[in-house]
């Protein structure tokens, strides 16, 4: 049963555990196509439009790669400045969507405003997939993170997943927590209190299947973690440049010294890019250890986006 067919994917918040497992199962089967470095014909008569109003390397290129691997075609813009959707006499988002939907079978949109993907979906006659809207949601990121954990650990249930860093303002982190909360696992939320989850997220976790603990003790939390997930500090959420830089100096950096008491099979994840004004959030010395899985996540990202496209466009049941 494919409940995604013909529908938008804007958020992971209201997805059921069964729907998340469906995407992960289909993504696992897509890995076979990826391993063969071939193209399937599941979406050969379909066209995907990408509308990116913000920069991206992974999300746009992996959605495009996913569509091409499924035999479909891609059009769109990577920068709104080359379209009529930006500039001094910019068309509204509504009018842009009501134009682009005539050229394609599905739209992927990334936009700086929270709620923009929902608005696009309200005006589109084809399914809209959210490639990240403001500080709100980034569902394909949360799902690819869940796929990475599930594939690398063989389960989601029973794990202790450490989230170290900005849990307040980053859209990928919101989507990941909304995904993982449906499973019987523990979220260990570690970092400076200024960037701990918002009350709405805490209420969501309270009502979910998972358990959770909030702590400022990053180093003391690491030995319990099966997964250590970190991300960038979101600048847009800071009160001022000074406040942002002050927090950045206290922001956890993952290096081998911090990982010395980690479980041998603890995997370290990051949505990437891992850069900020002070350098890298995960030092390169971690890259080639058994802990480092952040570049594997990139590959899982193609599989999960293939699954999302195939489900929404009816290429699989």
Interface residue list for ligand CP (CB under 6 A) = 56-59, 132, 141, 271-272
Cβ closer to ligand CP: 105 or 271?
A: 271
* Chain centroid, CA 117 distance in Å: 14
CB atoms within 10 A of CB 68: 15
Q: Which is nearer to ligand CP, 132 or 191 (CB)?
A: 132
What is the maximum span of the chain, computed from C-alpha positions, in angstroms?
57
Could you tell me whether strands 186-190 and 160-164 are parallel, antiparallel, or unpaired per DSSP bridges? parallel
Distances (CA, A) of 75 to 58, 86, 255, 289, 309: 17, 18, 40, 38, 15
CA triple 292-264-186, angle to 5 deg:
85
Instruction: Report, in Å, the least distance between residue 297 CB and ligand CP.
Output: 9
Taking the least distance from each CB to ligand CP, the nearer of 172 and 315 is 172
Residue nearer to ligand CP on the CB measure, 12 or 141: 141
Closest CA to 285 of 256, 264, 263: 256
Alpha-carbon span 105 to 77, nearest angstrom: 16
Residue whose CB is less far from ligand CP, 18 or 57: 57
Q: How far apart are CA 79 and CA 99, in angstroms?
A: 17
CB closer to ligand CP out of 9 and 272: 272
Residue 271 C-beta: closest distance to ligand CP, Å: 4
DSSP string for residues in 197-220: PPHHHHHHHHTSSSEEEEES-HHH
């Amino acid at each position: 049963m494919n409940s995604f067919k013909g529908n938008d994917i804007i958020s992971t918040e209201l997805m059921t555990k069964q729907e998340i497992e469906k995407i992960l199962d289909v993504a696992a089967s897509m890995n076979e196509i990826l391993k063969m470095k071939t193209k399937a014909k599941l979406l050969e008569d379909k066209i995907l439009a990408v509308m990116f109003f913000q920069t991206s390397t992974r999300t746009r290129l992996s959605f495009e790669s996913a569509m091409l691997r499924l035999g479909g075609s891609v059009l769109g813009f990577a920068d709104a400045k080359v379209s009529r959707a930006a500039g001094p006499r910019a068309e509204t988002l509504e009018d842009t969507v009501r134009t682009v939907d005539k050229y394609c079978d599905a739209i992927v949109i990334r936009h700086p405003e929270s709620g923009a993907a929902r608005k696009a979906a309200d005006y589109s006659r084809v399914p809209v997939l959210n490639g990240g809207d403001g500080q709100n949601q980034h569902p394909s990121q949360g799902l690819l993170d869940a796929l990475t954990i599930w594939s690398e650990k063989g389960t989601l249930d029973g794990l202790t997943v450490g989230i170290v860093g900005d849990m307040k303002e980053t859209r990928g982190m919101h989507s990941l927590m909304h995904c993982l909360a449906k499973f019987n696992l523990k979220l260990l939320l570690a970092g400076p209190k200024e960037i701990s989850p918002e009350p709405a997220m805490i209420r969501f976790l309270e009502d979910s299947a998972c358990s959770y603990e909030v702590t400022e003790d990053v180093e003391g939390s690491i030995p319990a973690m099966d997964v250590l997930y970190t991300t960038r500090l979101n600048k847009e959420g800071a009160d001022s440049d000074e406040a942002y830089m002050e927090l950045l100096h206290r922001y956890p950096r993952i290096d081998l010294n911090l990982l010395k008491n980690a479980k041998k099979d603890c995997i370290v994840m990051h949505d990437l890019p891992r850069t900020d004004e002070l350098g890298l959030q995960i030092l390169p010395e971690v890259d080639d250890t058994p802990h480092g899985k952040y570049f594997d996540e990139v590959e899982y990202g193609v599989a999960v986006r293939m699954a999302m496209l195939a489900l929404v466009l009816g290429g699989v049941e």
